[in-house]
Amino acid sequence: MQGIMFKVFRWLLGASQVKFVSFTALFAVMNYLATSTLNLIEGYISTSSLSTAFGGLSSNVWYFLDMFNVSYGCLLYTSRCV
């Protein structure tokens, strides 16, 4: 009985270690790709181009942007990037 419990415990420990290493590697790769992509597109985006783009939106589009609270989502995303 003790041998079976030891094998089950060892299997659980091994599976969790594999998951931990896999998810840590996935997090590191995604963090690197997000940072690299942000650095590449940072020169093309300015505040004047964004205000011009949002200024050209119609009232129908603004209705859905306000309904889905996009302004708050943009603040959350930019604070996450900083």
Q: Which two tokens stand for residue 16?
A: 């969790």
Q: How far is 52 from 46, CA to CA, in rounded Å? A: 10
Place of tokens 């943009």: 74
Q: What is the pLDDT of residue 82?
A: 67
Band the pLDDT of 29: cuts 50, 70, 90. very high
Average pLDDT over residues 18-22: 84
Coil, strand, or helix at residue 56?
coil
Q: What is the pTM of this model?
A: 0.44
Q: How far is 28 from 34, CA to CA, in rounded Å? A: 10
Buried b (16+ CB within 10 A) or exposed e, 45-72: eeeeeeeeeeeeeeeeeeeeeeeeeeee
